[in-house]
Amino acid sequence: MKALTWQGKRKVSIEEVPDPTIDYSTDAIVKITSTAICGSDLHLYEVFGPFLDKGDVLGHEPMGVVVEVGSDVTRLSVGDRVVIPFNISCGICFMCTRGLQSQCETTQVKKYGSGAALFGYTKLYGQIPGGQAEYLRVPLADYNHIRVGDDLPDDRYLFLSDILPTAWQGVDYAQVPDGGTVAVMGLGPVGQFVARVAGHRGYRVLAVDPEPERRAMAERHGIATFDLTDTIVDELRDLTEGRGADAVVDAVGLEAHGNAGVKFIQQAVGLLPDALSKPMLDKAGMDRLAAVYASIDVVRRGGTVSLSGVYAGEADILPMKTLFDKQITLRMGQCNVKRWVDDLLPLVEDPSDPLGVMDLVTHHAPLEDAPQLYETFQKKEDGCIKVVLRPEQSATAA
């Protein structure tokens, strides 16, 4: 089959790789109809090379149709249309039964001290082949799927795989009081949904992003937006009676704008041999924390900062005095996708599309176009906000 593979820093390519097979009786094979490029895929493209091998299949936002099931799979049948959550969990362990599927004790990657295994996301998370491919092997398939109907287009459902529940969890973790104000840092795909979810819940939303195309998309959904300027903290405080927002959701993550020194370190470590770079990233890695610092400044005393963006540094310096003095609550973590599906499925199927899932994708393309679109997405060119790849379109064209 054809699949998008990692080949080196800022280098991905479409290659012929072996078709997935039923390796365990609890597996299923899914023919992929749509698969998205996630903002966190760009971290693999740019930073996490030491934990990848050439040929690793990327992608963790897929959906498609079941074409084969293992002998112990009882909840899926050939022909079922499914979305595949990005984290791989069992549904029955201590963590899963408490709604912490991203910490699943069955699939934890203990070698690296990591939580649940993820599709297409480095050795740190199990090195499981991902979904930017024509077919995908789904482990523990009875639990690791979201069955959906046949009538609505893929774009209605696809984002249940990751970014929509990630946004929902980010807002839930923000603990915004009724009628309160939430600031959103970053209007990439997750930030777009964070802003819409917060507005859907009745909160006042103030969203910040340096890209005019992203601000324009958010404004179509009634979101008040602001450019990322040197005075943005003061501007947001002025709009909140001088106190700051009740909560802030950081939807940016480890490659935020700002701190050129840390950017240089990230890039330099990525050029070292794996034997040197792995321990440096694992134990001394640093993130560009501009979005976190701004969030801590913007939130009011006694408020909450919710981190939805991915962070990976072990040597990051947080302003502990400010966090303590302002009595700030921090909530964060990988999304527990299955925890939120019952809340979200009715909303994505609602004819009125209250969260605007049909107004996010800026680029639909065949799988073969993925390498160029990784570059376009990273450079924020051509108004690129969200890319969805269609492997079936590729097969038809071929």
Write the DSSP symbol of residue 314. S
What region does 382 belong to: left with phi over 0, alpha with psi -120 to 50, or beta?
A: left
pLDDT digits (tens, 9 = 90+) for 111-129: 999 999 999 998 999 999 9
Residue with tokens 């376009």: 376
Bridge partners, 11 (sequence order): 8
Q: Distance between CA 233 and CA 106 in Å, rounded?
A: 43
Sorting pLDDT into bands at 50, 70 and 90, what band is 280? Answer: very low
Select from 169, 192, 103 the least CA-distant residue to 339. 169
The C-alpha atoms of residue 252 and residue 40 are separated, in whole angstroms, by 10
The chain-wide mean pLDDT, for the chain, equals 90
Alpha carbons 295 and 289: distance in angstroms, whole number: 10
Confidence class for position 279, pLDDT limits 50, 70, 90: low
pTM as predicted? 0.90
Extract the tokens encoding 179.
């009628």
C-alpha span between 81 and 89 (Å, rounded)? 19
pLDDT digits (tens, 9 = 90+) for 28-45: 999 999 999 999 899 898
The pLDDT value given to residue 259: 44
